[in-house]
Amino acid sequence: MAVEGYFPPVDEERFSRDNVHFPEKSANSHDAWAWNCSIVDKQAKGGKLHRKTFALKDNVAVKDVPLLLGTNLFKDYVPNCDATVTNRILETGGQILGKAVYENMCHSATSHSSGTGIVESPFAKGYSAGGSSSGSGVLVALGEVDGAVGADQGGSTRVPAANCGMVGLKPTFGLVPYTGSGSNEPTNDHLGPITRTVLDNAIFLEAIAGIDNIDDRSFPAPHPSRLPAYSSILNLPEDQPLAGKCFADIKESLSAPALGSRVVKTSQVAVAKYVELGATVDEVSMTTHSKGAAIWTGVSKVGGFLAKISGSFGGRGHQILGLKSLLYPIGQHNQDETYAPTKNIYLNELYAVEKFQLLLAKGSITRIRTFKPKRSSSCFANRDAGGTGGSG
């Protein structure tokens, strides 16, 4: 324990932290800012994100800028390192304007639970902006930043992006390194971009993706210099731009419990648009789709609890030790002020660990095995398919 922990180095002369402050109410109309600052590369020479502005979900570390996790469990934690995504935004010319509010401990898909207050829809006062990356979606929608980083374990980037009318991406697992970001369950963590357009999203992804040689989630990812040019993929012909592309429309995705009729209609309209643009859309049956929520629960709840009570997990990577020391071990001393759904989650997790010891293993195996459609599909056979609809 006497050995000093590893902290990714920060060049504070090149990336100085300026004007760090808690936002004034008058400059925070939707309570979407958690903290404000101004950080830019003093040696900038252009780059993919040159002259673009960004906010980071407030589980992403920025050295010398407080981190709140959307909770009241602590108020004075200040990271001593930058997350990999923080550094990559700055190195590619972007300016970081602050931290975006997110829902309490990442435990809500609505926008009412943050310790700093309710985050309202940018377009309809009194309505939800979605969560848990609520502030990230709102700040992009309001035009206060060009892009924001979200974190997604079960929809937390995609839901606020959808509620706010923005583009939110949950990248392939590990494509964007998670180093320096607060984790929920390590095999379920994804950082991703929220932007106003698909093109901006692709450019943002090019800047932050690729292995960082620290986070083992990212080990299968290409080196940043060998990433595909995601933005170039969008250079499609104006006439029938999707000609030759094949998409799978998963039948079970439109029969989920509590699915609203307007959502079904919106999906059907999107499928029709794909066809109009030249694509082939093949409806397939994937019976395992309906079990997705149960599989996710087995991994997220049990795995998340085991990670929380130990303050660590079995993978290799950087641990935010200062933050973990404030949260763990779980006990009465740090749970009196816990958000009610968080208490519920912890109790459910504990029950699952005690009563279903093999649930995590079974969920993990089921999740990673290859899912095959019930009937043959040329889309799947040709391996260039995308699913429409979906969950989790």
Active site residues: 57, 132, 156
DSSP-derived secondary structure for 114-148: -TT---B-SSSTTSB--SSSHHHHHHHHTTS-SEE
Contacts of 332 (CB under 8 A, 6+ apart): none
Please give the structure tokens belonging to residue 274. Answer: 């794909």
Contact 189, 217 (CB under 8 A): yes
Contact 178, 165 (CB under 8 A): no
- Cα separation of 214 and 317, whole Å? 5
Residue labelled with tokens 């300026």: 18
Contact 178, 150 (CB under 8 A): no
Contact 146, 53 (CB under 8 A): yes
Q: What is the DSSP letter of 222?
A: P
- Cα separation of 166 and 224, whole Å? 26
Nearest CA-CA partner of 273 in 232, 235, 234, 245: 245
143: left (phi over 0), alpha (psi -120 to 50) or beta: left
